[in-house]
Amino acid sequence: MKRKHSIFVNLFPKFLALCFLFFGIVLPFQAQPLSYGPNINLEQAKKVIAAAEAEAKKNQWNMAIAVVDTGGNLVLLQRMDNTQIGSIEIAKGKASTANNFKRSSRALEEAIEKGGIGLRLLAVPGVFPLEGGELILLDGKIIGAIGVSGAQSTQDGQVARAGISALSSK
């Protein structure tokens, strides 16, 4: 038992270094890394979803729209009529991915598109590397994220960005 423990202790720093190297190369940090702020509240989440839904309706797209807080916990979910059921989990996953990686889910999609080391993201459980997940910022801090699913990924991204504009326009 003691031997297994010492192997873990010896390999753990190497594992952390590899993780840092991987995420440092594939997912470069911005000049000034974003930090988490206070959690998005229900009223803010309602504004974000209303703006996103308005964009989806304008384009006649049926969508599921999810908003998560800084811990990746669901704050609000809305599924428009006739939206496929599978879009619920995808919307939540895109929102959590954006929040947990401090960048849009499209950035992870781009890392995979490049191939090579970016393909390792496919092995990370719970990651949704598809456009449609966006950070929600307030005063330069992450307060949560939105995820949208139901149409093509580019359309999901368009609706997500329309949603976050509801808070940034103030």
Give the global pTM. 0.80
Q: What is the mean pLDDT of residues 110-118?
A: 92
pLDDT digits (tens, 9 = 90+) for 116-169: 998 998 899 999 999 999 999 999 999 999 999 999 999 999 999 999 999 875
Query: What's the confidence (pLDDT) of residue 8?
Result: 46
Picking from 94, 77, 84, the residue whose alpha carbon sits closest to that of residue 42 is: 77
Query: What's the confidence (pLDDT) of residue 147?
Result: 98
Confidence of residue 29 (pLDDT cuts 50, 70, 90): very low
Query: What's the confidence (pLDDT) of residue 33?
Result: 87
In the chain the domains, ranked by start, together with CATH numbers, are 42-166 (3.30.450.150)
| First-last CA distance in the chain | 59
In the chain the beta strands, taken as DSSP E runs, fall at: 35-36, 64-68, 74-79, 133-138, 141-149
Supply φ then ψ for residue 92, to 5 degrees: -60, -40
Query: What's the confidence (pLDDT) of residue 168?
Result: 73
What is the distance between the alpha carbons of residues 19 and 154, in angstroms, rounded to a whole number? 29
Q: Which of 18-22, 28-32, 79-83 has the highest mean pLDDT?
A: 79-83
**Contact in structure between 48 and 151 (CB atoms under 8 Å):** no
pLDDT digits (tens, 9 = 90+) for 73-110: 999 999 999 999 999 999 999 999 999 999 999 999 99
